[in-house]
Structure 1
């Protein structure tokens, strides 16, 4: 059963919102190369849900990943600022690739080898955490009372497509990345995706205060050019800010480890605003489709379930340490070894990762780690078809890609090369999702039309 569970007290529901700049300075490391130009600013934004019980903090950051000890540091700082505990704080990234990453565990290992600062700018990271904490302290001093919530969803057309295209032998024939020019891969069907963007809005009477949106896709159109950008998801969010400027807009990336825009994106610069417009249009339709209902603190609950994520048996501690310490090895490979070793040592040391679920009237919002495959999101929705189930993935980035059990034998980039988790992760996470949703279920409970690769 869930270790931490909070049912909020009777009375009014209040929220505080925050929005802080999270743009790295020029010259500092980003995910793939140093920042040379700022195309558009990055942000860390979210809400604090307040009542007579422990505040709940939800935060979304325009970075590629926040993992291991860095994820702990973010949550600890935000918890202190909001006057709550770490178990009531959920921090996620949107996973833009022209953006920083942050892993304090890996940084400590790299610093021991004279590679400190190669992965990210420590001073900038600490400054950003402090800025977000300061914004939360200010925001919770003047919260807004919430009388209603609104739930809406709409289909997003021609953005998401599954990255893994299987051949006749059941193995991955093509990996259709964020951009794709292979005509056969482009012509292949969209595959398994969640086509809908979901939206939760908060109202003070008739006045909208905040909008949380959830959509599952890798968020990049093009990258590796030295730019810093929130990419097309940030651009879509900005469009909605322009359309509804009185509202704080917070976007979360869903379970999109195996979902990207490759079917609809050739990587040209001109296509970024096209994808942004399509996502923004889906967000607008979801807003127009809102079903509004009264809400009090009694309608809110928060549950947390720590789980042990099984590391992949191909991760060998002695081999990773040897590579990390090899001064003749490629620097990028040594950085990768530090990241792998960070997750492995924490997992082997008994460190658990927290899953959580926010209940808000008829809505259930699941908060999950890593680059989760879309099948987990679809299965969660199938477990509770009568409820409005949203999922925010890309929480603790330590595990990297998290595939389904069958995917580890199918080949492909995600599970044959870079995932740090074992196939048994499917059972751990689906049991956790089912428990948080108060049901019994697994990925195979999802309809065959949703998860065809799992129904054999």
Structure 2
């Protein structure tokens, strides 16, 4: 704020004649104004938005093949939130997973760009299966065994990270004041279903994959899901600035041939952004044991249907939005760094044997490198970050891995209505699937072999951390 000269010295002629005590008192009043008024202005919240291309080049490795075509472009998009505290960065990337040293590099680069700390940066993947894997520790392990470059293009990965960091810097320079935060939600019709179908003995009888034509899997009930798509928006009075959406499911319709796509969740997000003219950022919830399998036969036509259902839910959630005023005092960031107990199914010696074995298949060797990277990271450091951002009565919860839906539902119970908890999982991808304690005795793919990098005790550890950041 600037002050006119006459305010600082309203009457220069008579001021010279004021007694010393009166002049001192006047100058003290002015000094207080100079200190207090800028402090009041700093209470405003501002938001900057970034959207950066993250599409791999043709021939570059994606999750299960090399990119042979680009069906839909991929993006890394998010927001930088500025207040009277250090900036906060929330980022969602159209890749299958970002883990270990991949997470480290992403968070450090974005933190530097935002002039903040790594604990205030949250980077999530949406988990599209025709997207990219990012983990420089895995790549280094593969390189030691003659497989460097087979699953990752490090130059491309680093280029995207640098471009996103530049996008964060630009977003900060163009940040706009936020006066209100909005929340709305709507049920998604015929998309999510639980992938673990239990038999009469309480064990997994059927695993319902992302797509299926098995009549029994299709006929089985949806099972435990979170049917709600949640919508959080930032406003400058009546002008919407950005929309964040949250929904829990594996986002696959069909995949595996190298036809790069942001899948039905990303296509719906892009359609809503185009229809409204408002930046949209989508986060995948705790979808580790959730797929579209009950409603997806894996055909191109069904991808269109799933997209339409997601887009319709986004539209309805937007229509249900209600707003409340937002200032810095309504905003808080909490985090804890915790250690997730490693599964007893893996040890470094056996994993290295698989990598050394000339008869091991490529997929087996990659799975071994993936879990060895996690084991090494988890042995050396406790840097799995659990965090939350409170925006008035809405909480944005950031969690690691392919998390089971039970964690998302449990978090919501900690902050029941009129408060809301929106969960984004798939942050630190290193542990893979994270089941509940009971799930590890039920069988099924997700908690077997190398699929999960954590032990059953993870539930107690993770719930303690969730409670801490939702206080």
Normalising by structure 1, we get a TM-score of 0.93
1:77 correspondence with 2:106: no
1:26 correspondence with 2:20: no
Distance 1:88 1:349 in 2: 22
1:306 correspondence with 2:337: yes
How big is the shift at 1:10? 5.7
How big is the shift at 1:334? 1.4
Contact 1:9–1:52 under 8 Å retained in 2: no
RCO higher in 1 or 2 (8 Å CA, sep ≥ 6)? 1
Kindly report the root-mean-square deviation, in angstroms, between the aligned alpha carbons of the 2 structures: 1.2
Map of 1:445 onto structure 2: none
Distance 2:381 2:188 in 1: 40
Map of 1:280 onto structure 2: 311
Distance 1:293 1:352 in 2: 35
1:430 correspondence with 2:463: yes
Contact 1:235–1:273 under 8 Å retained in 2: no
Map of 1:104 onto structure 2: 136
Map of 1:355 onto structure 2: 386
How big is the shift at 1:9? 9.7
Contact 2:64–2:257 under 8 Å retained in 1: no
Map of 2:26 onto structure 1: none
Map of 1:335 onto structure 2: 366
Contact 1:9–1:297 under 8 Å retained in 2: no
Distance 2:349 2:341 in 1: 18
Query: 1:355-375 CA distances to partner (integer Å, 9 max, x unpaired)?
Result: 001001000111000000000
Map of 1:149 onto structure 2: 181
Query: Which of 297, 300, 314 is matched with 2:328 structurally?
Result: 297
Change (3 A) 1:252 1:62: same
How big is the shift at 1:89? 0.1
Distance 2:363 2:215 in 1: 32
Normalising by structure 2, we get a TM-score of 0.90
Query: Which of 96, 105, 121 is matched with 1:64 structurally?
Result: 96
Query: Which of 197, 213, 224 is matched with 2:229 structurally?
Result: 197
Contact 1:66–1:395 under 8 Å retained in 2: yes
Residue correspondence of structure 1 range 40-59 to structure 2 within 5 A:
40-59=72-91
| 5+ long unaligned stretches in structure 1 | 1-7, 439-456
Query: 1:368-409 CA distances to partner (integer Å, 9 max, x unpaired)?
Result: 000000000000001211311110000010000000001011
Distance 1:188 1:401 in 2: 23
Query: Which of 452, 462, 467 is matched with 1:419 structurally?
Result: 452
Map of 2:346 onto structure 1: 315
Contact 1:9–1:51 under 8 Å retained in 2: no
Contact 1:18–1:46 under 8 Å retained in 2: yes
Bigger mean CA deviation after superposition, 382-391 or 122-131: 382-391
How big is the shift at 1:350? 3.4
Structure 1 residue ranges, 4+ long, deviating more than 6 angstroms after superposition: none
Distance 1:12 1:212 in 2: 20
Query: Which of 206, 212, 227 is matched with 1:180 structurally?
Result: 212
Contact 1:220–1:231 under 8 Å retained in 2: yes
Distance 1:329 1:223 in 2: 24
Contact 1:307–1:354 under 8 Å retained in 2: yes
1:385 correspondence with 2:411: no
Map of 1:258 onto structure 2: 289
Structure (1 or 2) with the larger CA radius of gyration: 2
Instruction: Describe the SS at the equivalent of 1:125.
Output: helix
Query: 1:46-97 CA distances to partner (integer Å, 9 max, x unpaired)?
Result: 0000023210000000000000011010000000111111111000000000
Query: 1:178-207 CA distances to partner (integer Å, 9 max, x unpaired)?
Result: 111111110111000000001110011111
Contact 1:9–1:53 under 8 Å retained in 2: no
| 5+ long unaligned stretches in structure 2 | 1-39
Query: Which of 373, 388, 397 is matched with 1:366 structurally?
Result: 397
Contact 2:183–2:321 under 8 Å retained in 1: yes
Query: 1:244-266 CA distances to partner (integer Å, 9 max, x unpaired)?
Result: 11x11000000000001001111
Equivalenced residues, count: 430
Distance 1:258 1:10 in 2: 43
